[in-house]
């Protein structure tokens, strides 16, 4: 028998009558390359890059590994987690909020 559990809360979704929702996500790099701006060409990035490469060789900085070009994901969700996902797919509520209120 195939066992299912909610990928968010861990609830057992195997018992008969338990609703299970499948979430499929795909993320990929946007096809159009970013256009260079005029100011990008005016700054001297060669010197910056040389400094960066020196720091890399000296082990002072770690080369960031690029994210995959495309990633497909699949999740099983219980009805509660599915409902919460639909309300806030990017979990914006979990992000820190900054208070921009004026100093009155």
Region binding Zn ion by CB under 5 A among candidate stretches 20-28, 58-66, 80-88, 96-104: 80-88
Residue from the set 1, 2, 3, 9 that interacts with Zn ion by CB under 5 A: 9
With binding defined as CB under 5 A, does residue 78 bind Zn ion? yes
Region binding Zn ion by CB under 5 A among candidate stretches 25-33, 38-46, 78-86, 90-98: 78-86
Residue from the set 4, 8, 84, 85 that interacts with Zn ion by CB under 5 A: 8
Task: Give the position of tokens 């979430």.
Answer: 23
Q: Which residues bind Zn ion (CB under 5 A)?
A: 6, 8-9, 11, 78, 81
């Amino acid at each position: 028998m195939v066992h299912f559990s909610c990928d968010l809360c861990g609830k057992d979704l195997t018992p008969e009558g338990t609703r299970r929702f499948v979430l499929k996500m795909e993320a990929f790099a946007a096809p159009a390359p970013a256009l260079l701006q005029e100011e990008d060409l005016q700054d001297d990035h060669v010197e910056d890059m040389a400094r960066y490469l020196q720091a890399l060789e000296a082990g002072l900085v770690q080369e960031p590994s690029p994210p995959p070009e495309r990633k497909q994901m699949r999740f099983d969700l219980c009805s509660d987690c599915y409902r919460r996902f639909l309300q806030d797919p990017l979990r914006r509520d979990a992000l820190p909020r900054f208070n921009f209120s004026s100093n009155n």
